[in-house]
Chains A and B, each alone.
Chain A
Amino acid sequence: MKSLKLLGLSTVVAITALTGCKPKGTETAVSGDAAQKVYVAPGKYDEFYNFVSGGFNGQVNVYGLPSGRLLKVLPVFSVNPENGYGYSEETKPMLETSHGFIPWDDQHHLSLSQTNAEVDGRWLFANANNTPRVARIDLKTFKTVEILELPNSAGNHSSPFLTENTEYVVAGTRFAVPMDDENGDVPIDSFKENFKGVLSFIGIDQQTGGMDLSFQIEAPGINFDLSHAGKKKSGDWFFFSCYNSEKANTLLEVNASQNDKDFIMAVNWKKAAELVKAGKGRKVVTEYAHNTWDESTHSATSTMKKEVVVLSVEDMKEAMFMIPCPKSPHGCDVDPTGEYIIGSGKLAALIPVFSFDKMIKAIADKNFAGEYDGVQVIKYEAALHGEVQKPGLGPLHTEFDGQGNAYTSMFVSSEVVKWNIKDLKVLDRQPTFYSVGHLMIPGGDSGKPFGKYLVAYNKITKDRYLPTGPELAQSAQLYDISGDKMKLLLDFPTFGEPHYAQALPGEMISKNQVKFFKIADNKHPYATKGEAESKVVREGNKVHVYMTSIRSHFAPDNIEGIRVGDEVYFHVTNLEQDWDVPHGFAIKGNQNAELLIMPGETCTLKWVPKKPGMYPMYCTDFCSALHQEMQGYVRVSPAGSNTPLIYSLNNKKDNAQSPVKEGETK
């Protein structure tokens, strides 16, 4: 009996002890004043805009920091029924590619435009990973204003990274593929002969931000993962992390993890640009779409380009080098001084830090270990500043606080590790919840980080929020990094699977916001600049409705004489000249989407009625006390009927203001 009691007691003690040993959760990781530090009182603004990649939803999400509040979702590579992006006639061309209309993509990385290696708040660049594209978002309007497709590429992963004065956006291909002017219909096991890894350099117009595919480099057929431009003294260089130096093409998880070292490729982009100017490189015939948004016509145009200049390894002899990097490097990050290049070997048990000065000296001294597919390989030790020992497991990405410290995300061990760049000592480590991928410090990849916060973007979210079925939101975690030790302040759910993010002080963008488009400057070919100009015009089986919207009615609000088989184009101009007064437009049975028309803008919705009847149309965005009254009817008659084409606004007999007008026929 006694022994039984003893057994029972010891079991209780053991269980208590064991549960006490359970890893600590966030409850203990958050200190008392965390709530105060992230509380943004009503009427106050957040300190930073945080632009977060939408991952597989193809969008960009804008959050406020430190509150973690979602401010806006920007459609970039995906159609968006909320505002008709990709559905309206004006925005459809934005999603054109050489493969036709592609309404989705996988959006990974973001880059804010920079001047003198500092973020400047002009534009945000975004990549499409699947069908290689790079987009530019204008931060005055938060609209996607340009999308450029990339030829000779597949899996546009190491993109879009920018030089310190936004001279070039770079885009390295993740998948090696045969060149577009060569036959792609080849056996996959001819990988080593036929597959190339192409790096694209997109020139940026300094005034307009306009993108132009200036040149490409036909590099060896390895996988380019991530990249960053140098800055200041290393400003002429670009660094790309490469994996699969084995050039395997099957079961890569094993076969691409054989070599102890892969590479960081260093490219002197300035020299490359000079080589192109000097007439080097071959012209490759291909096809890629260049889509641009014109703010004065409120319309996009898509043009197909046919040619690109491609430099070969041979051309780049003096301007392209490989640095060995342990093992399968992922992140490739350059510190704010431009001296240190950090390669994160995601399968390595250390973090290699390279020195730019040493790299230049090694090149000058021809301190090479050999060649890889014609590219000189610098000796590892010759370029190495040092290694961070035992930093954690699975280092992926590194950001900087501008105080000489680096912060590396550890995917496998789920933590953020702070270390000193010069002496390579680990200073602090904090757990993440869980499996952190990218991390971000506002301005953390520029020459001037705002080292106050760090956000970790986590891939796994179990137990963070109320469950939502088998699929859970991803999470972002905000740390205060202003002290010696990182402090967890907040976590908040995010869309898609967030990858890289960017942030900058709110004021840099908020002061330049466009509040409405001036109606006088509207050069849309179907703009209606006043109710008196509204009309309905038939051209064969196409009917153009020149419509206006203003609180709280459409003009016209009644249309008759549409026939089954007609293509009806509603060109709706929002006549408002006031901030935050968009009007919506929707019609019953329409198979695409609705419109959300900004003040002073013209948008076009195409509608092909399938059967006769009465079709209500209405405003979808609550605009005023009389929003619900903002509606009208379209009467659709059978094909071939002779119902006269008429339209009107407010034509009630007892309250006549406007006569019923006859539609024009051209």
Chain B
Amino acid sequence: MKTQSLNNLTRVLLIVCGIALIISIFVPLWSIYLEAPQYPEGLAMYLWASKITGEYEIINGLNHYIGMKTIHPEDFWEFTVLPYALGFFAALCLLAAFLNKKMWLYITAVLFMIFGVAFMVDFWLWEYDYGHNLDPNAAIVVPGMSYQPPLIGFKQLLNFGAYSYPNIGGGIMFGVALILAILAFIEFRKPKSA
């Protein structure tokens, strides 16, 4: 039985992960920055678990030249689900710490990885849709051009430099994924050495 229980440090870290995930519900997950010569101060857009903030109205105004769809928070079904999903994983981390069972740690780690990958894929699909699904009557049509912002990193889109980076919430999600992976690995190796 003892080999099935977790290190104390593992349990503490699971609790930290749980609390961090709760925090991630209330802070921005992702940032997209646009920079252009005529916008020296830059334009920022923040994706939260439940909303979009920042200057997306101005970005909408600019998007109409190239026929991109305008961004409206109500178009994203994710905003009704994401806070609960993050809450669920927070609860799962705390539960694993409380139950003190390796199996629960593995379940939490694997499910969260799947969730993380799904999150990134979903995000990428949105970006693909916005960047490729253009109005054929748009004022500016550059043959072969798409306007998909990068998932992470920098990409030049005509005169705009687009930066996409995890914000606090996204950082937490990456951190939690990494910690869970390491913990699962260590706990998995433990009985062999014990």
Q: How far is the CB of A537 from chain B (nearest CB, A)?
A: 28
Asked if B8 is at the interface (CB within 8 A of a chain A CB), the reply is no
Neighbouring A residues of B65 by C-beta, 8 Å? 624-626
Please report the C-alpha to C-alpha distance between residue A578 and residue B42 in the assembled complex, in whole angstroms.
12
Please report the C-alpha to C-alpha distance between residue A576 and residue B55 in the assembled complex, in whole angstroms.
12
Question: What are 17 A-B pairs with beta-carbon distances under 8 A?
Answer: A550-B61, A551-B61, A551-B64, A576-B61, A577-B57, A577-B58, A578-B55, A578-B58, A578-B61, A579-B41, A624-B65, A625-B65, A625-B139, A625-B140, A626-B65, A626-B139, A655-B137
Neighbouring A residues of B41 by C-beta, 8 Å? 579
Measured CB to CB, the nearest residue on chain B to A655 is B137
Q: How far is the CB of A154 from chain B (nearest CB, A)?
A: 49
Neighbouring B residues of A576 by C-beta, 8 Å? 61
Neighbouring A residues of B57 by C-beta, 8 Å? 577
Neighbouring A residues of B61 by C-beta, 8 Å? 550-551, 576, 578
Q: Which 8 pairs across A and B sit closest by C-beta, in order of nearness?
A: A578-B58, A626-B139, A577-B57, A551-B61, A625-B65, A655-B137, A577-B58, A550-B61
Please report the C-alpha to C-alpha distance between residue A551 and residue B60 in the assembled complex, in whole angstroms.
11
Return the CB mask of A543-584 against B: 1 if under 8 Å, else 0.
Answer: 000000011000000000000000000000000111100000
Return the CB mask of B59-99 against A: 1 if under 8 Å, else 0.
Answer: 00100110000000000000000000000000000000000
Please report the C-alpha to C-alpha distance between residue A576 and residue B137 in the assembled complex, in whole angstroms.
22
Please report the C-alpha to C-alpha distance between residue A578 and residue B55 in the assembled complex, in whole angstroms.
9
Chain A interfacial positions (CB closer than 8 Å to B): 550-551, 576-579, 624-626, 655
Please report the C-alpha to C-alpha distance between residue A577 and residue B58 in the assembled complex, in whole angstroms.
7
Most buried by A among B41, B61, B64, B139: B61
Measured CB to CB, the nearest residue on chain A to B57 is A577
| New A-B pairs, 6, CB < 8 Å, besides A578-B58, A578-B61 | A550-B61, A551-B61, A576-B61, A579-B41, A625-B65, A626-B139
Secondary structure dominating the interface of B = loop
Please report the C-alpha to C-alpha distance between residue A626 and residue B66 in the assembled complex, in whole angstroms.
12
Q: How far is the CB of A552 from chain B (nearest CB, A)?
A: 8
How many residues from B make CB contacts under 8 Å with A? 10
Please report the C-alpha to C-alpha distance between residue A576 and residue B61 in the assembled complex, in whole angstroms.
8
Please report the C-alpha to C-alpha distance between residue A577 and residue B54 in the assembled complex, in whole angstroms.
12
Measured CB to CB, the nearest residue on chain B to A629 is B139
Measured CB to CB, the nearest residue on chain B to A580 is B38
Neighbouring B residues of A550 by C-beta, 8 Å? 61
Neighbouring A residues of B137 by C-beta, 8 Å? 655
Please report the C-alpha to C-alpha distance between residue A579 and residue B61 in the assembled complex, in whole angstroms.
13
Neighbouring B residues of A655 by C-beta, 8 Å? 137
Q: How far is the CB of B106 from chain A (nearest CB, A)?
A: 50
Measured CB to CB, the nearest residue on chain A to B38 is A580
Please report the C-alpha to C-alpha distance between residue A550 and residue B64 in the assembled complex, in whole angstroms.
11
Measured CB to CB, the nearest residue on chain A to B40 is A43
Neighbouring A residues of B139 by C-beta, 8 Å? 625-626
B27-46 residues with Cβ-Cβ distance < 8 A to A are 41
Please report the C-alpha to C-alpha distance between residue A282 and residue B58 in the assembled complex, in whole angstroms.
58
Please report the C-alpha to C-alpha distance between residue A655 and residue B139 in the assembled complex, in whole angstroms.
14
B140-184 residues with Cβ-Cβ distance < 8 A to A are 140
Q: How far is the CB of B159 from chain A (nearest CB, A)?
A: 10
Please report the C-alpha to C-alpha distance between residue A551 and residue B41 in the assembled complex, in whole angstroms.
20
Q: How far is the CB of A554 from chain B (nearest CB, A)?
A: 15
Please report the C-alpha to C-alpha distance between residue A578 and residue B65 in the assembled complex, in whole angstroms.
16
Please report the C-alpha to C-alpha distance between residue A481 and residue B57 in the assembled complex, in whole angstroms.
49
Q: How far is the CB of B76 from chain A (nearest CB, A)?
A: 21
Neighbouring A residues of B140 by C-beta, 8 Å? 625
Please report the C-alpha to C-alpha distance between residue A455 and residue B94 in the assembled complex, in whole angstroms.
69
Measured CB to CB, the nearest residue on chain B to A550 is B61
Please report the C-alpha to C-alpha distance between residue A612 and residue B163 in the assembled complex, in whole angstroms.
54
Please report the C-alpha to C-alpha distance between residue A624 and residue B38 in the assembled complex, in whole angstroms.
10
Return the CB mask of B116-143 against A: 1 if under 8 Å, else 0.
Answer: 0000000000000000000001011000
Please report the C-alpha to C-alpha distance between residue A579 and residue B42 in the assembled complex, in whole angstroms.
12
Q: How far is the CB of A37 from chain B (nearest CB, A)?
A: 26
Neighbouring B residues of A625 by C-beta, 8 Å? 65, 139-140
Q: How far is the CB of A629 from chain B (nearest CB, A)?
A: 8
Measured CB to CB, the nearest residue on chain B to A43 is B40
Please report the C-alpha to C-alpha distance between residue A353 and residue B65 in the assembled complex, in whole angstroms.
67
Please report the C-alpha to C-alpha distance between residue A458 and residue B64 in the assembled complex, in whole angstroms.
52
Neighbouring B residues of A624 by C-beta, 8 Å? 65
Please report the C-alpha to C-alpha distance between residue A551 and residue B64 in the assembled complex, in whole angstroms.
9
Please report the C-alpha to C-alpha distance between residue A579 and residue B65 in the assembled complex, in whole angstroms.
19
Q: How far is the CB of B180 from chain A (nearest CB, A)?
A: 42
Please report the C-alpha to C-alpha distance between residue A577 and residue B139 in the assembled complex, in whole angstroms.
22
Neighbouring B residues of A551 by C-beta, 8 Å? 61, 64
Q: How far is the CB of A205 from chain B (nearest CB, A)?
A: 34
Neighbouring A residues of B55 by C-beta, 8 Å? 578
Please report the C-alpha to C-alpha distance between residue A578 and residue B56 in the assembled complex, in whole angstroms.
11
Measured CB to CB, the nearest residue on chain B to A577 is B57
Please report the C-alpha to C-alpha distance between residue A317 and residue B65 in the assembled complex, in whole angstroms.
73
Please report the C-alpha to C-alpha distance between residue A625 and residue B139 in the assembled complex, in whole angstroms.
9
Neighbouring A residues of B58 by C-beta, 8 Å? 577-578
Please report the C-alpha to C-alpha distance between residue A624 and residue B64 in the assembled complex, in whole angstroms.
12
Measured CB to CB, the nearest residue on chain A to B62 is A551
Q: How far is the CB of A529 from chain B (nearest CB, A)?
A: 13
Measured CB to CB, the nearest residue on chain B to A626 is B139
Neighbouring B residues of A626 by C-beta, 8 Å? 65, 139
Q: How far is the CB of A421 from chain B (nearest CB, A)?
A: 45
Measured CB to CB, the nearest residue on chain B to A624 is B65
Neighbouring B residues of A578 by C-beta, 8 Å? 55, 58, 61
Please report the C-alpha to C-alpha distance between residue A305 and residue B57 in the assembled complex, in whole angstroms.
45
Measured CB to CB, the nearest residue on chain A to B55 is A578
Most buried by A among B55, B65, B140: B65
Please report the C-alpha to C-alpha distance between residue A619 and residue B1 in the assembled complex, in whole angstroms.
79
Q: How far is the CB of B36 from chain A (nearest CB, A)?
A: 12
Q: How far is the CB of A589 from chain B (nearest CB, A)?
A: 30
Please report the C-alpha to C-alpha distance between residue A551 and residue B65 in the assembled complex, in whole angstroms.
9
Q: How far is the CB of B34 from chain A (nearest CB, A)?
A: 13
Q: How far is the CB of B33 from chain A (nearest CB, A)?
A: 16
Measured CB to CB, the nearest residue on chain B to A551 is B61
Q: How far is the CB of B168 from chain A (nearest CB, A)?
A: 26
Neighbouring B residues of A579 by C-beta, 8 Å? 41
Q: How far is the CB of A42 from chain B (nearest CB, A)?
A: 12
Q: How far is the CB of A399 from chain B (nearest CB, A)?
A: 36
Most buried by A among B41, B55, B139, B140: B139
Q: How far is the CB of B58 from chain A (nearest CB, A)?
A: 5
Please report the C-alpha to C-alpha distance between residue A655 and residue B136 in the assembled complex, in whole angstroms.
12
Q: How far is the CB of A217 from chain B (nearest CB, A)?
A: 50
Measured CB to CB, the nearest residue on chain A to B140 is A625
Please report the C-alpha to C-alpha distance between residue A579 and residue B41 in the assembled complex, in whole angstroms.
10
Q: How far is the CB of A511 from chain B (nearest CB, A)?
A: 14
Q: How far is the CB of B91 from chain A (nearest CB, A)?
A: 39
Please report the C-alpha to C-alpha distance between residue A578 and residue B60 in the assembled complex, in whole angstroms.
12
Please report the C-alpha to C-alpha distance between residue A550 and residue B61 in the assembled complex, in whole angstroms.
9
Please report the C-alpha to C-alpha distance between residue A482 and residue B65 in the assembled complex, in whole angstroms.
53
Measured CB to CB, the nearest residue on chain B to A576 is B61
Please report the C-alpha to C-alpha distance between residue A625 and residue B64 in the assembled complex, in whole angstroms.
12
Please report the C-alpha to C-alpha distance between residue A550 and residue B58 in the assembled complex, in whole angstroms.
11
Measured CB to CB, the nearest residue on chain A to B159 is A625
Please report the C-alpha to C-alpha distance between residue A314 and residue B35 in the assembled complex, in whole angstroms.
69
Neighbouring A residues of B64 by C-beta, 8 Å? 551
Please report the C-alpha to C-alpha distance between residue A209 and residue B139 in the assembled complex, in whole angstroms.
47
Q: How far is the CB of A591 from chain B (nearest CB, A)?
A: 34
Q: How far is the CB of A392 from chain B (nearest CB, A)?
A: 48
Please report the C-alpha to C-alpha distance between residue A579 and residue B137 in the assembled complex, in whole angstroms.
28
Please report the C-alpha to C-alpha distance between residue A454 and residue B137 in the assembled complex, in whole angstroms.
58
Q: How far is the CB of A517 from chain B (nearest CB, A)?
A: 15
Q: How far is the CB of B69 from chain A (nearest CB, A)?
A: 16
Q: How far is the CB of A108 from chain B (nearest CB, A)?
A: 38
